[in-house]
Structure 1
Amino acid sequence: MSALGLALLAWAARANDAPSWLVCVLVLPAVLWAPGLGLARRLGGGHATGLQVAIDAAWISALLAVVSVSITRAIGAAPELVLGLSALWGLIGAGLGHRAPWPPHSPRGAWGAVVGVILALLALIVWRGEDLRRPLDAYWWSPDAEGLPEAPGVVEPGAGFDEPEVLGWPEQRAMRFVDPDGDGGTLRMGSEGAALLLLRGPIGARLQVGDAAPVEITADVVEAEEEGAVPRYLSHGVVAALIPLSPGELQVTITGSDGPAELALIPGRDGVWSLHAVGAYRFVHYYQLLNIVENLRWAEELWVSRALTVNQPPLWSYPLAVATGLGAPGLMGANALLLGVLLLLGAACAQLIATHSPDAPAPAWALPALAAVTVGHLMIEPGSTTFPDPLYAAAMVSGVAALGTPWRFGAVGVLAGAIRYPGVVALSLFWAVGAALGIVNRRPILALWGLTGAVGLTIGAFAVITGQLGEWVEILWFETGPEHYHGELSPSALLPRVPEFYATWLWYTGGGLLCALPLAGKGARLCAMGVGLYSLLLCTIDHHPTHYFLPLVALSACAVACNAAALERPALRWGLPSLAIVGGLWFLSQGAV
């Protein structure tokens, strides 16, 4: 469908208050894929396959979204203007590309892999649907949680509250209930001990238990005086009050709830994890909440004031602004964007395999779907779906697939660096491996660093004009050094982290990483040796969150596929990728990360 047609459908869906999922299904391709199709076809020049053109269109559209959101912000227009601008870019691209030769056919297995990715993502939606629908105000943290007694106390809601719903492990007696009037009620206590009472509601709502000082739901919370206020929520959130238990009744007062109020009661330490396990209230550290919400805030600010996100590379915030400003607000829009990015990642994996191993056996073409679902799981489980790392992984895979085309490799490499700062260096490592294997000459690396220099100077000039240069340089330094090592640079501190890192990588692939052996063929060596070099930049960092492993997981799948394609014995050609799939599914079945 044309960019104009998609934009009109997206506008109609928004105007008629269509379900959020339908709005996202229309808005995201209307802004982040269709506008770039014509130009991608023109740039492909009849040499790029249809799948490569589709991937190029996504990257071009991401850049056009930066322009569209920036224009909308500059003139103070409503976000719907982006739909009109996207249609305009699509029409211009169609005019530029209508005379371009039709792209050659991709290998049949590549399109089959893309279909497999789509089916796998539908399965992911069914499997993790509750997590994908969970709003930001279902995440919480309290320093008092660790101080709860191990044995749950006896406490339950009394007058003024509806009947409670016990959630999770019955023996923990953690429960959720509603205050229909939103003004409070009583708690009945039958034992000594302590409990946490949670109030979920709008920013500014207050909870008071007995004569204790009231606690308030706030958007920014001070947990440590030296850190100041740390971002936590947008419009709604959660606050926790610690309750000392003794037999009798206790008055609860609620103000500012704007209607019925939802509460939760946690009478023991494991009750926190009982509610967490069923997804009702996900308990995450306040730094993780900070990471989740700051990405959403930066995206919101792009519509009205912020021109450049300096706290992280700037590209991610613009697609996220489209998803949350035009698709669905908050985590719903971010999670819809995640699914779109996973589709791009899976398509990029299929393109990489098609480039280096077009005759890969059938099981190998299922590996892009496994990679996409695994990456999604590694983002959903810790609640990191607002992070840019899946898009960074897609850029890394796209860059490796584009090594044979200097301009495309350079452009995608710059985009990778605009998503995560190490992107340019990481792809340079893959070029070095490719050059050593005789796959590429020096033109791709010249294109990459030439474009990087030009873009860096442009952003630097913009930072000077806006007065953000000092902050940007400081962030660059912090992101590449102190944040990851905290001054611990001695071998005794660094080396013990290495085995844990590689064991975690192997775990996330379900052992499938080993199926890339014996690295038969140049494609397998390029993927495995390149990602091995890249891993050396990560393995000594003092923390190993799941998002660090996304490019490694995706490129491991590609290495397994390319290795299988280069083997001669049918048992190994089919057996190794099949074994990797079984291992990956086993890891996913464990649930934990």
Structure 2
Amino acid sequence: MLALATLLLVPLNIWGTPRPAPHSVSFLAWLRLIVGLPVVLLVPAYFLVPFLAGTDLRARQTANSDALSRTWVLLTAVGLNIVIHFVHFNAFRFLDIPIRWGPLLAIAIVEIAICLTLWGRRLAALEFATPTRSSQAAVAVGVVVVLLFGAWKSAHLTRDSSWYFDNDILNQGWEASEEVGFIALEWADGRPFVQGSSFQPQDLSETLRILNESDRPQQVPVYFLVHGKVGCAAVIAQHDLTDMTSGMSPSSRLGTPVVIEQAPDLPYHGQVERYWEWGAALVADVVQVPPKGRAEVDIRVLPDPSSPEPPRLEDFEILGLANLAGGEVRGELEVLGIHSMHPFQMLNVTENVRWAAEVASTHVLPGHSPPWADPPSTLHQPPVWTYLYAPARELLSPQLVSASMLLMLILFGIVLVGIQAMESQNRALPVSVGASLALALALNAAQHGRLMVSDGSMNFPDNLFALGIFISVVALCTNRQRIFVLWAVLTALLRYPGVAVIGFAGASLMLLDAKRRIQTTEAMVKLGLAIGLFCGVMLGVGGLLGLLPTWLYALYFETIPEHFHNPGEGADPLFKRPVVFFRMWMICGGGALLFAWPFRNQMSRVMSITALLYFPCLAFIHHYSHHYFLPLIGLAVLAPVASIASREPGATQRRMAVALACVCGALFWWANRLSI
């Protein structure tokens, strides 16, 4: 199936080239996403891991000691495939081969052919363990909850980040007209005006007609969000219909054009990156409509004057809203998946887009500052996430939806890791217990997804970082050393605190389990050697290229000034922050950790200690970004799942599993209601 999906991606990419404007997700893009996501995640690593990971892949709770666990095969293949993507990209870069979908698919097809030729019979002879009924029920629950979450947040997951915007015009205090029911709106060509609907313009100017059926004059605010290429602009023109001459166009009052800028110059901050290749401009104005009369306004799109190509109307999409207050406009756009966003949050989203584009062209490592930065800097983000996101953008879709679909699979991956934590107890669970524990896992995974969707952070590395922590801890506790080292290294190269978090888990397991202290120490030493080798190579390369001071400063900046510079405005006092952070964590799923008591097995204890040790590393940061909570939310539910699964089957175990699921559901509802 994987080989067939890889071959099928070739015609799907041919038919989808060149990529259309990212106004929406095309049918071909959906086909590429459905067919291609397993290819991006698993090819060719899926054909290699049975021979590289050895006994670590075995499902140890079955009678057949040689049977493999499908979950561990898949999770290991995903980790190995990121390493293979890194090799592919940089081999193509060295050979001066374009890093595009064609060469990427060609090398994948060649590697599949080699693997099937060399190990085809051995691959066919592999035996996978038959999952227990409780595991099957748990997987089904996870699939249903993740799909329901995707349906709930579909508008956000499918909207490209180039639609996001930042504009103070919504803070002007404009209100809807006094007699809203007497206002009618239509386009000049007779099309009805539908709030929040978008369309491609038929000309560079579209006219909106506002009709007032009241006996009183009314003020009607109008808003247009214009989506187009960076460098284009939009402007509103109001027609003066009070002094028209027959046969002549009415005079117009032209507003201030709003340019779609890659990096606008903000007061006190200088240039702040906003968009990559596409963006959005919000223009708005208040229209005076006479009693029993009408008014007309134009929304005009202005092509980039510096572009050598002629303007194309299909490069523009116009979304209109009218007769709403500024807060209502934000609410309407939020329903459509369009975020009104703080400039620095837009910077974070766009940086991940740019870094993925850069590693697919000129850069080996992501994290570079934009070209206009003086002095330039680099390594603001470790490389692992970018080497998964970049192939997804090249093979599937350059839009944010590729990251969103990866997020959906990561959420399901969290559930799968939790199921492995359940199964590691080497006892068959009742179906009701397995389903209830899976529901708790899935609800906290949905909590994770809700936090990231709420501020458009689907393309952040923290999603994979959290999953990497969970895989590493479960693999360490179940003595799967090769899988542990692979994912622990990846976790360390996803976010800089990764080494510390894995270190907390390793140290706690060594202290708690004297019988396995030698094995745990061996695993941690292997991890230390791998990280030491990577750091040694980086130090050597940095010294030879003269980049070492820049790299060390980036590490310092991302650790201290970025998180602890204590701004005078908007930051809580230092010792109040842990209280606020703890409250937010408990509401956003952390309260589930209480169900880990009395910490009946080692895995539950290790996860609880790891969460509590990691907490103070985050709690004193001067802001409470959603992505900081993700590892804590997952550990808070994995610990009680492992503890409850280790209980003797019976009424107590069943009641605790159901109670855990109910609490996770209540916390999800509460956090969503509070908009945390």
What is the alpha-carbon distance in structure 2 between the residues aligned to residue 424 and residue 556 of structure 1?
20
Partner of residue 321, structure 1: 390
Question: Cα distance, 1:382 vs. partner?
Answer: 1.9
Partner of residue 356, structure 2: 299
Q: Residues 156, 230 of structure 1: CA spacing in aligned structure 2 closer, same or farther, 3 A cutoff?
A: farther
CA contact (8 A) 1:182 1:258 kept: no
CA contact (8 A) 1:388 1:419 kept: yes
CA contact (8 A) 1:113 1:369 kept: no
CA contact (8 A) 1:113 1:368 kept: no
Matches within 5 A, 1:85-124: 85-91=107-113, 95=118, 102=126, 105=129, 108=132, 109-110=134-135, 112-124=137-149
Query: What SS does the aligned partner of 2:493 have?
Result: helix
What is the alpha-carbon distance in structure 1 between the residues aligned to residue 285 and residue 41 of structure 2?
49
CA contact (8 A) 2:176 2:219 kept: no
Partner of residue 260, structure 2: 217
1:447 aligns with 2:469: no
Query: What SS does the aligned partner of 2:327 have?
Result: helix
Aligned residues: percent identity? 24
Partner of residue 262, structure 1: 318
Partner of residue 63, structure 1: 83
CA contact (8 A) 2:587 2:667 kept: yes
Partner of residue 577, structure 2: 497
Q: Deviations over 1:444-465 (max 9, x none)?
A: 2211211111011223334445
Query: What SS does the aligned partner of 2:283 have?
Result: strand
Structure 2 residue aligned with 1:76, among 82, 97, 104? 97
Question: Cα distance, 1:527 vs. partner?
Answer: 1.3
What is the identity, as a one-letter code, of the residue corresponding to 1:60? L
What is the alpha-carbon distance in structure 2 between the residues aligned to residue 341 and residue 416 of structure 1?
14
**TM-score, normalised by the number of residues in structure 1:** 0.89
1:8 aligns with 2:64: no
Matches within 5 A, 1:281-430: 281-309=338-366, 310-356=379-425, 358-360=427-429, 361-362=433-434, 363-403=436-476, 404-430=479-505
Partner of residue 647, structure 2: 567
Partner of residue 508, structure 2: 433
Question: Cα distance, 1:234 vs. partner?
Answer: 3.3
Partner of residue 585, structure 1: 665
Q: Deviations over 1:442-488 (max 9, x none)?
A: 21221121111101122333444555433322221111111111147
What is the alpha-carbon distance in structure 2 between the residues aligned to residue 445 and residue 184 of structure 1?
64
Partner of residue 183, structure 1: 205
What is the identity, as a one-letter code, of the residue corresponding to 1:204? G
Question: Cα distance, 1:30 vs. partner?
Answer: 1.6
What is the alpha-carbon distance in structure 1 between the residues aligned to residue 411 and residue 448 of structure 2?
8
CA contact (8 A) 2:608 2:636 kept: yes
Bigger drift between 444-453 and 184-193 goes to 184-193
Question: Cα distance, 1:525 vs. partner?
Answer: 1.1
Considering only aligned residues, what root-mean-square deviation do their CA atoms show, in Å? 3.1
Bigger drift between 49-58 and 210-219 goes to 210-219
Q: Residues 26, 568 of structure 1: CA spacing in aligned structure 2 closer, same or farther, 3 A cutoff?
A: same
Q: Deviations over 1:389-436 (max 9, x none)?
A: 111111101110121234432332111011111111101001111111
Structure 2 residue aligned with 1:231, among 273, 289, 299? 273
Question: Cα distance, 1:236 vs. partner?
Answer: 3.0
Q: Deviations over 1:214-270 (max 9, x none)?
A: 22122322233x433222223332212353555565754432273275143454232
Structure 2 residue aligned with 1:30, among 39, 47, 54? 39
CA contact (8 A) 2:572 2:622 kept: no
Partner of residue 519, structure 1: 599
List gaps (5 residues or longer) in structure 2: 17-26, 59-68, 237-252, 304-310, 367-378
Query: What SS does the aligned partner of 1:330 have?
Result: coil
What is the alpha-carbon distance in structure 2 between the residues aligned to residue 123 and residue 554 of structure 1?
19
Q: Residues 349, 88 of structure 1: CA spacing in aligned structure 2 closer, same or farther, 3 A cutoff?
A: farther
What is the identity, as a one-letter code, of the residue corresponding to 1:276? L
**TM-score, normalised by the number of residues in structure 2:** 0.78
Structure 1 residue aligned with 2:632, among 536, 552, 562? 552
CA contact (8 A) 2:392 2:402 kept: yes
What is the alpha-carbon distance in structure 2 between the residues aligned to residue 407 and residue 569 of structure 1?
32
Query: What SS does the aligned partner of 2:86 have?
Result: helix
What is the identity, as a one-letter code, of the residue corresponding to 2:279? G
Question: Cα distance, 1:339 vs. partner?
Answer: 2.1
Question: Cα distance, 1:589 vs. partner?
Answer: 4.4
CA contact (8 A) 1:196 1:241 kept: yes
Question: Cα distance, 1:493 vs. partner?
Answer: 2.4
Query: What SS does the aligned partner of 2:105 have?
Result: helix
Bigger drift between 135-144 and 465-474 goes to 465-474
What is the alpha-carbon distance in structure 1 between the residues aligned to residue 603 and residue 15 of structure 2?
49
Matches within 5 A, 1:454-465: 454-464=533-543
CA contact (8 A) 1:346 1:371 kept: no
What is the alpha-carbon distance in structure 1 between the residues aligned to residue 177 and residue 551 of structure 2?
49
Structure 1 residue aligned with 2:620, among 525, 530, 540? 540
Query: What SS does the aligned partner of 1:207 have?
Result: strand
